[in-house]
Structures are given as structure tokens and as C-alpha cells.
Amino acid sequence: MANTIKLEGEKRTQFGKGVARRMRVAGRIPAAIYAGGAQPEFVTLPMKETTLALRRTNALFIISFDGTSKMAVVKDVQRNPVKRIVEHIDFYEVKAGEKIDVEVPVFVEGTPKGAAVAFVDIQELKVRADVANLPERIVVNVDGLVDGTKVFAKDIDLPEGAELDIDDLNESVVTVEVPEDATLSTATEEAAAPADAAAAPADAAAAAPADDSDAK
């Protein structure tokens, strides 16, 4: 289920860099809500609540302002390159029951078998889903998978009603394999083992007490 976040906005009537700067100093973020080819709505939003809300991936926003409300998703976020504070947000208005394409991050959970490690081949997958059921993340369980296993796009579990919007469903999303450095480390240890075993008798002989029979 999508994360639905409500924000109380204010209609924006003044524009310009200086005005926007003063808004941010006052704890407000300038934003625009686009709706197809229609004229966008310009609003300001509370900085603290909005910044926290942006941590949620593919959240569904209900923005109230000037006696009305709009349902929207984030289209673009502009941040200060140094301070990293949010300077402006573009939203895209959506309607109940509408399906849209979103980028969903891929995560893995679980532990593969032996020395194998899971590698994410595709960091984000494009998914088409209802605005009321936008997935926040895609989790691939790799528990017990062995070296050489691949999880393909067609194997991914999605929320009901959602579907992958990609060209190749046979594309690898996660690969489970033993890292090359782990393989080399194991080979080095195995090669060193016989040498250690051969050295053991010589070390034992050197450490043994001398035979007193020759001295008598």
C-alpha cells in the first residue's frame, strides 16, 4: 500500500529567487503541482514535515491549499548542492484509480549459502501500479541460494495489480556468487596447508631432546 501523506500548503502568489529565499528562511518550501497540459498550481509547504515526507519512496501526497486539495506524487526535487536542503519540489497530480510508472529500488534480504554473496544487478525497476498501491521497495530473498544463482525480473514478487514495465523479463536483477577475492583466499590457504604439514615433522624433530646414548 502506498504511503499517503497529507500536507497543509499555502497558495503562492509571489515569485522570484529573492522571494523563494525568504520563504525558505521562514520555513517554507516553494512547490509546483503539474497536471498534464494544464496550468500548474504554485504553493508553499512546511519545510520540516515535507523534508521528512520526502524520505518515503513513491509516497502519495494529498496537498491541501486555498480551500481545495490535490492528490500528487513527486516528480522532481531540487536541493542545495552544498547544504542539501530542499529548495523546490515539482509534483505531478494524479487521480484515484490511475496507474502510473514509478522507479522502485531493489533490496536483498537473507544470507546465501557458504561464501556466496548477493549482488544487485539492477538498482531500480520500473513498475506500473495504481497510485493507491505504489510499491516503496522490492525485496528479493536470497536466503540459502547457492553460487551461480540468478534472480530474473520475471521472478520478482510485486503487489497485487502492479506489473513490471521493462522490455526484457529475463534480465538478471540479483546474482548470487562467490567473490573472486574469496576464491583466491581459499586457494591460497589450501596451497599453504601441505607446506605446513611437511614442515611439522622437521619442527618436531628439532624440538625433540637429544639422545644421550652417544655421550656414554
Q: 92-120 pLDDT, tens per residue? A: 999 999 999 999 999 999 999 999 999 99
- 209 within a domain of the structure (yes/no): no
CATH code for the domain in which residue 159 is found:
2.170.120.20
Taking a C-beta distance cutoff of 8 angstroms, is the pair 97, 130 a contact? yes
Model confidence pLDDT, tens digit, residues 168-216 = 999 999 999 999 876 555 445 555 555 555 555 555 554 555 555 444 4
Taking a C-beta distance cutoff of 8 angstroms, is the pair 118, 102 a contact? no
Same domain, 17 and 32: yes
Same domain, 70 and 14: yes
Structural domain that includes position 164 = 100-177
Question: In this predicted structure, what is the pLDDT of residue 180?
Answer: 83
Cell numbers found for residue 180: 573472486
- 210 within a domain of the structure (yes/no): no
Taking a C-beta distance cutoff of 8 angstroms, is the pair 109, 120 a contact? no
- 156 within a domain of the structure (yes/no): yes
Alpha helices, DSSP H, located in 16-174: 17-25, 47-53
Question: In this predicted structure, what is the pLDDT of residue 211?
Answer: 52
Same domain, 85 and 129: no
Taking a C-beta distance cutoff of 8 angstroms, is the pair 43, 23 a contact? no
Same domain, 12 and 51: yes
Question: In this predicted structure, what is the pLDDT of residue 187?
Answer: 46
Same domain, 120 and 169: yes
**Is the model's pLDDT at 12 over the cut of 80?**
yes
- 211 within a domain of the structure (yes/no): no
Taking a C-beta distance cutoff of 8 angstroms, is the pair 137, 167 a contact? no
Number of domains in the chain: 2
Model confidence pLDDT, tens digit, residues 24-68 = 899 999 999 999 878 899 999 999 999 999 999 999 999 999 999
CA 100, 105, 109, 112 torsion: positive or negative? Answer: positive
